[in-house]
Structure 1
Amino acid sequence: MTDDPHRCVDQRDVDAILDEFLRSVDVPGVAVSLFTSKGVTARAARGVSSLESPDIAMTPRTVGVVHSLSKVMTGTAVGVLAARGQADLDEPIVRHLPNVAGRDRFADTTMRHLLSHSAGFVRGPVPLLSEATRRDPLEQYVLGACLGAPRFAEPGEVFGYSELGIVVAGYVLQRIVRKPFVQAMRELLFEPAGMHRTTLDPFVAMTFPLCQQHVRTSSGNLVVRRRFDANLMTAPSAGVFSCAEDLARLGVVHLRGDRGNRGRPLLTATAAGHLHEPCVDVGLDIERGYGVAIASGPRYGDVLSVGHEGHYDGNWSKLQLIPDLGIGAAWLDNRGEDPTLRPRRQECFDQLLHLLGAGERSWQRDEEITGTSDSADVDPAAVAGTYGRLAGRALTITAEPNGLRATDGVTSVEYAHLGGRLYVASPAATGALKHIPWAPDPDSTRSALSVVGPARTPTHVLLNGLPYPRLR
């Protein structure tokens, strides 16, 4: 089945990739959709939606919770507002907040900060501090908890992945359009994009064919996880139910191929560029940045891809697109995150993109490709000091002849200079690291330490993408 005659994909090739995937892993069911700017070009599914109902097949329209891909949808809806001139990504959000305690803290915080994980927020969740009862759970959480949440940096200063930032952005979107977030998402994005099986309401999701979540017990058995972690308080960050076909339609919107209800793309070229253009570096040894709620990297051939994953216990989803080639792929399976599954998922995802003409995948940063480095290199002696987080041990960094040494009093690792502000551990040292935050990012091969702030007085370090503000 194909909606785009300009990209002919042999259905048998897609089926073969999924068949081989299920033969090599313990995933009950998987569904994918390939797309271009013209629309969905191929769909396929294999396996079952639940081990308890082996007669119900997984399909590209089978719905499941997509967790952090909700962030991409929230960012896309903000992009739609920006394309209409109804939102400014760089306007201080304080203008849209009610006159409540904590409001003044956002005088310099913008939607771009919130959606690119550079607002300085802790990751979350945070407890409700206000006893006031509000009819709107999202408003209750934002006004009663998020506005007073701890911050480890000034807006725009450093990357720090945060569900709270996305939640606040969703609330601001709601304030701008003067409609509940659930209704706003439906009218701004889901309906005009043709995402007819995408919803923030678990009771609506239950009316569609729904894949169950599967987790492994301590005894090694694969069982159904019966609880969906859907919460309207955090809906902008992780509350969406969707299917592989609808995720592909979201990708089509990003490639500016959907004409919406007004006969033109939902996103302008400028708005799409703002969503995809990296505005903050995650500080890893791989090419990974963030635009507006969407991550950049890896490269396929010589062009950069953008996308995001969504997973928690029991479901795993992914959306990846290559704007310069006008192609992308969406994936949904019902097994959940598992480090042993990640390589096979990535391999199959690459094979799907190759069917559309994508080149070989590479995570190399610009410094390694071009041999260039940031002109603002820092003196290792200036980095030396103590850095800390709200939870966990403080990090002490000392200057060494060949780079930096980091220790938390238990683990000690030497980092050699890679380029610019980035230092990396040797493969041998990285292999010995077992616990967070010392273990590298799942897509990295080396533990990475990145220096942030003025060259003579760094303010933070990023250890494998986790921000540590300087204590002394």
Structure 2
Amino acid sequence: MRLLPLLSLACALPGLAQNPDFTVLDELAQRALRESGTPGAVITVIHHGQVVYEKAFGVTDVETQGRVTPETLFRIGSTTKMFTAAAVLTLVEEGRVDLDKRISTYVQSLPPKIGALTLRQLLSHTAGLGDRGSGHGRHDDSALGDAIRALPPEIVELDPGAVYSYSSLGYWIAGLVLESVTGQPFADAVAERVFRPLGMTRTTFRPLAAMTYPFAQQHEGSAKQAPRVIRPFADDSSTWPGGSLFSSAHELSRFVLAFLQKGKLDGKQALAAGVVSAMSQPHAAIPGSTDHYTYGLVASNDRGVFTLSHGGARVGFGSFIVMAPEQRSGIIVVTNRSGSTLAPVVQKAMELVLPLGPEESQPPAPTTIPEETLKSYTGTYAGGGWRITITRDAGRLVLIFQGKQYPAKPAPGGHFTTEGPLSDFVFVPAPDDSIRYLHVELRTLRKIE
């Protein structure tokens, strides 16, 4: 799901009002900010290739009370991945890299198991990598290469190419390929290949550059806890390619506008059409879902409308971008509270500008599951530093995580739910139909016993 805001555009499409009333977004946004403990946000809506709503809410900093504007810079978390993917794909367009060659072709001194991976695997989250996160670390350009070359071989947890498992680490490695091939620091290479052609003059990975413009401070908060500034400011340059871009809703709209027009912006080809096409094609099925990962985006069928989207959640910030290419429409939201994306506003904005069909009714959850099937699910699954054991008890599954047991209930679509921290999971079969994986919280764990 996604987000919107500015003027109103008359449109006569099935299921849409001729003159959408965007003032309803104002009210929803204000309520969502209060209920989520989010100090500030910007919402932008694009329809038929034009910005039809762009509005800022709240404050950049609860201490100074500076007002948010559409030009305020926010850190956008994993929404960054679409920009890293776009930059890497410009090299493909130029014939300087091959998506299916080992990346050791382009980057020297990599651990052998890392060097054997391909860009196609890295950009589609099928490299089999575990995930790592670090809010704080070094700030120099050499940190990226140093971190990747120091990775242990066991970080490749699954057979490359076998199954989707979300990993920001894969984007860090793809960023190093970009750096090595261009001979530029990662941040400079993306700026030259993506930001400057699109006129995104303030968008940057560099905190010392971002803070020379009006920017939002990072906050944590909730409905029950007043938002507060998080100190110190989180940064680790080795993770920039996966989730650390600073941008504004206003400048992000330039990327969305270009993407919706096959790379054209202001009458010029700002982004190669081949890059847009590659980012629009499904490349990896996401387990337990009809969605697919492309390169840097998630391809979905949202009530009959094809959409491409990505969200971002990092220390102190949240973001979401969704695009509907056929309708040349998009919604952008940026916020300054950890993980906040103002989902109700996104949903309403989509209803205002997209010809969404009726909500699909979910099939009922199975009341019973054959004992033989339950038996095939049992075992221990590991990956990403997690170890999960699935057992049976009186005809039902029990998930054991961090020493605690959580009874699991069958849910539609082959899913199971629990009341614990891992509230939803699904089993993933191998090509021979044996159960080999457990998919939970975007990541896929291998069955080890």
- Name the TM-score class by shorter chain: 0.7 to 0.9
Among candidates 383, 386, 408, match of residue 389 of structure 1: 383
Change (3 A) 1:258 1:415: same
Pair 1:48-2:59 in alignment: yes
Change (3 A) 1:387 1:393: closer
Among candidates 317, 341, 354, match of residue 351 of structure 2: 354
Change (3 A) 1:52 1:282: same
Residue identity opposite 2:142 in structure 1: D
Pair 1:170-2:184 in alignment: no
Q: For 1:178-189, what aligned pairs fall within 5 Å after superposition?
A: 178-189=183-194
Q: 2 CA distance for matches of 1:355 and 1:207?
A: 36
Which structure 1 residue ranges, 5 or more long, are not aligned?
A: 127-133, 370-377, 440-446
Q: CA RMSD in A?
A: 3.5
TM superposition shift of 1:61:
0.7
Change (3 A) 1:223 1:406: closer
Q: 2 CA distance for matches of 1:21 and 1:459?
A: 40
TM superposition shift of 1:60:
0.9
TM superposition shift of 1:468:
2.0
Among candidates 379, 390, 415, match of residue 424 of structure 1: 415
Q: 1 CA distance for matches of 2:38 and 2:275?
A: 37
Tell me which moved more, 182-191 or 249-258: 249-258
Is the contact between residue 319 and residue 335 of structure 2 (CA under 8 Å) also seen in structure 1?
Answer: yes
Q: For 1:113-128, what aligned pairs fall within 5 Å after superposition?
A: 113-125=121-133
Is the contact between residue 192 and residue 261 of structure 1 (CA under 8 Å) also seen in structure 2?
Answer: no
The equivalent of 2:445 in structure 1 is: 468
The equivalent of 2:16 in structure 1 is: none
Change (3 A) 1:13 1:220: closer
TM superposition shift of 1:153:
0.8
Among candidates 126, 139, 142, match of residue 145 of structure 2: 139
Q: 1 CA distance for matches of 2:146 and 2:430?
A: 35
TM superposition shift of 1:452:
3.1
Among candidates 59, 84, 97, match of residue 87 of structure 1: 97
Q: 1 CA distance for matches of 2:120 and 2:9?
A: 33
The equivalent of 1:329 in structure 2 is: 331
The equivalent of 2:306 in structure 1 is: 304
Tell me which moved more, 37-46 or 245-254: 37-46
Q: 2 CA distance for matches of 1:259 and 1:106?
A: 35
Q: Percent identity?
A: 23
3-state DSSP of counterpart to 2:326: coil
CA deviation profile, 1:161-201 (whole Å, cap 9, x unmatched)? 21211100001111222222111110111111121221011
Is the contact between residue 158 and residue 452 of structure 1 (CA under 8 Å) also seen in structure 2?
Answer: no
Change (3 A) 1:204 1:391: closer
TM superposition shift of 1:30:
1.4
Residue identity opposite 1:162 in structure 2: S
Q: For 1:366-381, what aligned pairs fall within 5 Å after superposition?
A: none
Q: For 1:28-39, what aligned pairs fall within 5 Å after superposition?
A: 28-36=39-47, 38-39=49-50
TM superposition shift of 1:322:
1.6
CA deviation profile, 1:9-31 (whole Å, cap 9, x unmatched)? 66645544434444655322211
Among candidates 261, 275, 281, match of residue 279 of structure 2: 275
Q: 2 CA distance for matches of 1:195 and 1:21?
A: 28
3-state DSSP of counterpart to 1:43: strand
The equivalent of 1:320 in structure 2 is: 322
TM superposition shift of 1:136:
1.7
Is the contact between residue 48 and residue 328 of structure 2 (CA under 8 Å) also seen in structure 1?
Answer: yes
The equivalent of 2:120 in structure 1 is: 112
Among candidates 229, 252, 256, match of residue 234 of structure 2: 229
The equivalent of 1:443 in structure 2 is: none
Is the contact between residue 452 and residue 462 of structure 1 (CA under 8 Å) also seen in structure 2?
Answer: no
Among candidates 57, 67, 70, match of residue 57 of structure 1: 67
Change (3 A) 1:2 1:77: farther
Change (3 A) 1:172 1:457: same
Q: 2 CA distance for matches of 1:355 and 1:62?
A: 25
CA deviation profile, 1:112-144 (whole Å, cap 9, x unmatched)? 211221111110149xxxxxxx97221111222
Residue identity opposite 1:274 in structure 2: A
Is the contact between residue 379 and residue 390 of structure 2 (CA under 8 Å) also seen in structure 1?
Answer: yes
